[in-house]
Amino acid sequence: MLSIIQAAGWPIWPLIACSILALALVIERFISLRSEFIAPAKLLEEVLLVSRTSVPTPQVIAQIANNSALGEVLASGLSLMNARPNCSEEDLRSAMEGSGKAVGHRLEQYLSALATIASTAPLMGLFGTVVGMIEIFGAQAPTGGTSGSNPAQLAHGISIALYNTAFGLMVAIPSLIFWRFFRARVDYYLLTLELASEKLLRHLNTLRK
């Protein structure tokens, strides 16, 4: 591996840095976007159960909010209902939508960075290719009125061009795949939060009647 890096020349170092960053982002997102942290399977049913006859106490609501991202959204509606029992449906909806937007922003964290790496890595590889081509043309040195060449420099230029192109694609393709994977997962979670909020909203409206 070290021999490949040496053959690819200095343009490959920014690509190596991008690959390390992309790997760190993928690992972080895999950990942060686990379902138990975002939308536990039975949380909504538990919330509906504890609020079956009345709004839970602030202590219970705090436990719900600390449970997960979904708990944070549901707790925002319960907290408003607890503080203002006569609040309107629009107020409840606005409270949960505001909390949902904050949660959605956290879910999308670092995805733009991963997308940026996926889109710029091929360009960085292309830059290395251009540097390699410059090395190749530099190997064509005039000698005695005829065009001579430096084989070692010519081989080095070809190595820079090919290795950087390949490494740029090796960084970009997995980054793009994981970005699309995490984007789809975030969209699924946002839909789950929205549907759960609507269900709780209907429940709270029934509770007030």
The Cα–Cα gap between 78 and 116 comes to 39
How far apart CA 16 and CA 85 sit, in angstroms, is 57
pLDDT, one tens digit per residue, over 148-180 is 556 766 776 777 778 888 889 999 999 999 999
Distance CA(131)–CA(162), nearest Å, equals 11
Model's pTM, two decimal places?
0.82
Sign (positive or negative) of CA dihedral 121, 122, 125, 130: negative
pLDDT digits (tens, 9 = 90+) for 79-132: 998 888 888 889 999 999 999 999 999 999 999 999 999 999 999 988 888 887
Range of the domain at 152: 2-208
pLDDT score recorded for residue 146: 45
Please name the helix (run of DSSP H) or strand (run of DSSP E) that holds residue 142, with its range, or none. strand 142-143
Asked if residue 53 lies in contact with residue 77, where contact means CB atoms within 8 angstroms, the answer is: no
Torsion of CA 120, 121, 123, 127, to 10 degrees: 130
> Running DSSP on this structure, what letter comes out for residue 52?
S
Total domains present in the chain: 1
